């Protein structure tokens, strides 16, 4: 892994298929990580992979699925230890809401 980022996405991002869209898009681009809803209405994700692919995924998150409306995205560097939150045997997981 060359890049690992923790991403918080705010806006109309729950109830619009945003988590499933993130998982499908990340997997299609060969990224590892996870995504989950948060009780405050945001979506949280971890992306791990090549620097360019991760940057492209973050850019795509600004758009999201057609029913979503993203207000803000906060990106922070993260460590690979956060990958351990994935479900065993999965490259990219949809985790339970926290």
Q: Which of 10, 19, 63, 91 is catalytic?
A: 19
**Phi then psi dihedrals of residue 48, to 5 deg:** -135, 130
H/E stretch holding 23: helix 18-28
Q: Is 37 a catalytic residue?
A: yes
Tokens of 98: 């926290």
Q: Which of 29, 36, 37, 63 is catalytic?
A: 37
3-state DSSP assignment of residue 26 = helix
Specify whether the CB–CB gap between 38 and 97 falls below 8 A: yes
Please list the active-site residues: 19, 37
């Amino acid at each position: 892994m060359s890049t690992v980022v923790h991403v918080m996405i705010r806006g109309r991002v729950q109830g619009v298929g945003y988590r499933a869209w993130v998982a499908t898009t990340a997997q299609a681009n060969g990224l590892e990580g996870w995504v989950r809803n948060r009780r405050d209405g945001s979506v949280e994700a971890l992306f791990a992979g090549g620097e360019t692919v991760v940057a492209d995924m973050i850019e795509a998150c600004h758009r999201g699925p057609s029913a979503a409306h993203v207000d803000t995205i906060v990106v922070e560097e993260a460590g690979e230890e956060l990958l351990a939150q994935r479900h065993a045997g999965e490259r990219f997981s949809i985790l339970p809401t926290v």
